[in-house]
């Protein structure tokens, strides 16, 4: 049975309202939001004193209160020492159950390499793209969520009770969020649908639904050999190089020749994953790797798009995202340094227990230190990955109809290489919940690097898709009854 068709006039009215709201209200508000350097706590330990986080969340709340959503009640909830959370509720109108809509407002740091005319904290609107840090990851989520609800209401269509959670710690691992979920348990209730607007899209031509997320194991590896630096000529050949020993230790968890990782980090990949990603590979082809600005002559890890998709979604990977203990080349003297430190980030398969594997990796790095060096791996906040439960028939029909109505193409399903800790937390807490994890982070959007942009046409269409899902969720029981009645 296909999803119930929306009245053409109502659907057109929703789209018209969404487009107008984005142009007249959302884009100007996002420009103000981009100007706020509210870096996540991991990148700004003094965030409370700086006040940027509070400035950002208050901006979002002001916009929410003026968004014209009937019955919306918002509050900024702040537990001692934790980043503020924007919480909102909208009473049901003709629908049952609870829909939880999630996003975050904290940001990644500036990063170098912004092209001429662009900067992290100065919005630039160019060719349908809004450039600046945090617009796509994930400032737009609040605006899109509330606009979808407002459009449904303006069209006179039903929706269930809606709960809005916009956190300020996601880029740091969401370590504040469990405390807020416990604190707000009674107000949240039991959601049966979660809509998360913090994910990737394979292209800007259709609706992309995330079916899994990798986990995360971050930590700081340090190798120390001296109490103080020494002349490299006097000490060289006598004192071991801390950098060489760090390379030696890292070889235990990542083989440099081919990037193969410690066997404890791998899992068996389910057959349905290969089927889904095979369909994605056919759509994206070489776009799987051409979306990244590889230098001339640099090859991706494989020439097979399917192999790359599987590796990104279901295999472990390691990125050395930071190095310390060495001066910049222009400032470097002929000194054998006391130590070298590297920030490591392991991406873990969706079904791997991050807490269980963390001590295995720590032991592999720290045991039997070469040359008796002082080797430490300080694990930060491990985060297990997430797999979506089987999609309910009503939701599968709704997503397909929404993608065709707004993009003119079918919906696509794939795993995502990144991590959204809240999805695992919700899946464990509410085993029967359905998920729509989607987003605007498509080719070139570069959420954690320079030149981050929000693709505005996709954001508008995605808002309309959310509105459609809200309506279909409210009608799901009626549709199921009608389907059962016609089955015989």
259-268, 385-394, 474-483 — which is least confidently predicted? 474-483
Phi, psi of 86 (to 5 degrees): -95, 120
Confidence band for 6, pLDDT divided at 50, 70 and 90: confident
pLDDT of residue 205: 96
User: How many other CB atoms are found less than 10 A from the CB of residue 4?
Assistant: 16
Average pLDDT over residues 6-23: 89
Question: pLDDT at residue 479 above 60?
Answer: no
Q: 377-398: per-residue pLDDT in tens?
A: 999 989 999 999 999 999 999 9
CB 20 within 8 A of CB 88: no
Fold match between 8-213+386-487 and 215-269+315-379?
no
Residue 163: which residues within 8 A CB-CB, separation 6 or more? 87, 88, 89, 90, 98, 99, 100, 101, 187, 188, 189, 191
Kind of pairing between the strands at 230-231 and 208-213: unpaired
Domains in the chain: boundaries: 8-213+386-487, 215-269+315-379
Picking from 275, 358, 267, the residue whose alpha carbon sits closest to that of residue 314 is 267
CB 105 within 8 A of CB 168: yes
pLDDT of residue 478: 59
Question: pLDDT at residue 485 above 50?
Answer: no
Confidence band for 432, pLDDT divided at 50, 70 and 90: confident
d(CA 212, CA 416): 6
What homologous superfamily is domain 8-213+386-487 in, according to CATH? Zn peptidases (3.40.630.10)
Fold of 215-269+315-379: Alpha-Beta Plaits (3.30.70)
Q: 402-425: per-residue pLDDT in tens?
A: 999 999 999 999 999 998 888 998
d(CA 450, CA 133): 8
Task: Calculate the average pLDDT of the chain.
Answer: 94
CB 38 within 8 A of CB 55: yes
Average pLDDT over residues 424-433: 89
pLDDT of residue 59: 98
Which residues, listed in sequence order, are joined to residue 99 by a DSSP beta bridge?
162, 193
Average pLDDT over residues 126-143: 97
* DSSP 8-class letter at 41: T
Provide the percentage of residues in the chain whose pLDDT is more than 90. Answer: 91
Confidence band for 484, pLDDT divided at 50, 70 and 90: very low
Q: Which residue in this structure is represented by tokens 């340094």?
A: 337
Q: Which helix (H) or strand (E) holds 379?
A: strand 374-379
Confidence band for 292, pLDDT divided at 50, 70 and 90: very high
Confidence band for 173, pLDDT divided at 50, 70 and 90: confident
User: How many other CB atoms are found less than 10 A from the CB of residue 121?
Assistant: 15
What pTM does this model have?
Answer: 0.88
Q: 319-364: per-residue pLDDT in tens?
A: 999 999 999 999 999 999 999 999 999 999 999 999 999 999 999 9
pLDDT of residue 481: 45
User: How many other CB atoms are found less than 10 A from the CB of residue 255?
Assistant: 12
Q: Which residue in this structure is represented by tokens 């002559």?
A: 297
Question: pLDDT at residue 480 above 90?
Answer: no
């Amino acid at each position: 049975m296909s999803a119930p068709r929306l009245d053409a006039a109502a659907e057109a009215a929703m789209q018209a309202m969404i487009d107008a709201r984005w142009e007249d209200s959302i884009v100007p508000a996002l420009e103000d939001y981009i100007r706020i350097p509210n870096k996540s706590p991991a990148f700004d330990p003094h965030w409370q004193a700086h006040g940027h986080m509070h400035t950002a969340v208050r901006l979002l709340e002001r916009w929410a209160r003026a968004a014209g959503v009937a019955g919306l009640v918002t509050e900024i909830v702040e537990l001692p020492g934790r980043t503020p959370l924007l919480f909102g509720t909208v009473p049901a109108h003709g629908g049952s159950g609870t829909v939880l809509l999630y996003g975050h407002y904290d940001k990644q740091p500036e990063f170098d390499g912004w092209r001429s005319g662009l900067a992290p904290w100065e919005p630039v609107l160019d060719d349908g793209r809004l450039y600046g840090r945090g617009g796509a990851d994930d400032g737009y989520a609040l605006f899109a969520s509330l606009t979808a609800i407002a459009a449904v209401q303006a069209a006179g269509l039903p929706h269930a009770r809606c709960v809005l959670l916009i956190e300020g710690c996601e880029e740091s691992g969401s370590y504040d969020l469990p405390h807020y979920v416990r604190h707000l348990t009674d107000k949240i209730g039991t959601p049966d649908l979660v809509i998360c607007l913090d994910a990737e899209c394979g292209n800007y031509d259709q609706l992309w639904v995330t079916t899994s997320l990798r986990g995360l194991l971050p930590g700081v590896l340090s190798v120390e050999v001296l109490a103080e630096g020494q002349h490299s000529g006097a000490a060289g050949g006598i004192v071991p190089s801390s950098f060489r020993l760090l390379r030696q230790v890292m070889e235990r968890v990542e083989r440099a020749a081919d990037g193969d990782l410690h066997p404890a980090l791998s899992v068996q990949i389910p057959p349905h994953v290969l089927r889904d990603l095979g369909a994605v590979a056919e759509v994206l082809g070489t776009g799987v790797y051409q979306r990244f600005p590889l230098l001339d002559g640099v090859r991706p890890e494989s020439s097979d798009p399917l192999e790359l998709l599987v590796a990104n979604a279901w295999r472990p990977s390691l990125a050395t995202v930071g190095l310390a203990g060495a001066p910049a080349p222009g400032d470097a003297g002929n000194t054998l340094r006391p130590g070298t430190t590297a920030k490591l980030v392991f991406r873990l398969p969706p079904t791997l227990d991050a807490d269980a594997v963390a001590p295995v990796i720590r032991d592999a790095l720290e045991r039997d230190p070469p040359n008796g060096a002082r080797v430490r791996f300080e694990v930060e906040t491990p985060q297990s990955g997430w797999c979506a439960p089987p999609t309910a028939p009503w939701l599968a029909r709704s997503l397909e109809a929404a993608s065709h109505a707004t993009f003119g193409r079918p919906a696509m399903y794939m795993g995502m290489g990144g991590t959204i800790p809240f999805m695992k937390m919700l899946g464990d807490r509410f085993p029967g919940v359905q998920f729509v994890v989607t987003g605007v982070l498509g080719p070139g959007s570069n959420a954690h690097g320079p030149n981050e942009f929000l693709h505005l046409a996709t954001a508008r269409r995605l808002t309309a898709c959310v509105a459609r899902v809200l309506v279909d969720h409210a009608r799901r029981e009626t549709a199921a009854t009608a389907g059962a009645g016609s089955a015989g």
